[in-house]
Structure 1
Amino acid sequence: MKGYTRLPKKQLYVILGIAGMLIFLLSLDVMMKVKDASLYRNWLQDLGEQNRIKNVTEKAYLDAYVTTHLSLYFQKIIIPIGLSIHTYFSYMKLRLNKLFVFIWVVLLLGSAAYTLVGFNAQSILAYGYILLYIIMIITVLSLLTVIDNSENY
């Protein structure tokens, strides 16, 4: 079948490994943000300066803080999880084509841009995210040469 190529095992392991490391770093980041009392107090102070809400308990603020960070965490990990699952099924059952590469490069670029918007220069984890996204984009783009080489046979 022209245009459909089997995913090499090397790229499968690289994509799954990088996605795993990315999810691990994002998990560490959200755990540190949720468990840090000083960040929570700063968030409360910023919230108090923006609007004065009466009759709201401290637990409601804490719940809102945790829910906000967990929602952002889910938004950040959905692309690496989706890529990992799709890559695994591409290796096991499906085949690759250039549309696979195009869609995932666009989604990875968007996810990297979303990470850059919330970039925290003081966090070493933020530099790790960017590096892992760059490596993952290069790996997915390298699949184009695999596809081109298999079409020539």
Structure 2
Amino acid sequence: MDFQTYHALTQLYADYAAAVDSGNWDLWPEFFTDAGSYRLQPRENHERGFPLATLSFSGKGMLKDRVYGIKETLFHDPYYQRHVVGAPLVRQAEADRFECEANYAVFRTKLSEISTVFNVGRYIDTVVRTPAGLKFASRLVVYDSEMIPNSIIYPI
């Protein structure tokens, strides 16, 4: 993988984190291909090969539906989130397709409360080159803890 491609890959990861931290939810689906998938799965299920996921969306339409839900129908205590994402580790590279992993930590701050560690784990991604730049063909978010807060509203 050449430097320019790796730089574009790290920029994709940084831009994704900035977008979901900004609260501008309309940006989120645009990081995926039209058929892209997003799954949030506990580590225990992933390691045992169990398909059960906490969230699972396939296709940009489902991602946009989640955005609609976040903005219009889900009621929850508002909070901010902040991602810290490690450099992507490229497991396999082809001309237009990359298998990557990156560790992440998400901190959550509720209004008038201190910040807390919200979710920690790793991304397991398939990234593809498109005419619009690099996009996620799939993003599997494997979180380490068996326990999660009572709800996960925003994308990790």
TM-score w.r.t. length of structure 1: 0.27
**Higher fraction of helix:** 1
Higher relative contact order at CA 8 Å, sep ≥6: structure 1 or structure 2?
A: 1
The structure that is strand-richer by fraction is: 2
TM-score, normalization by structure 2? 0.27
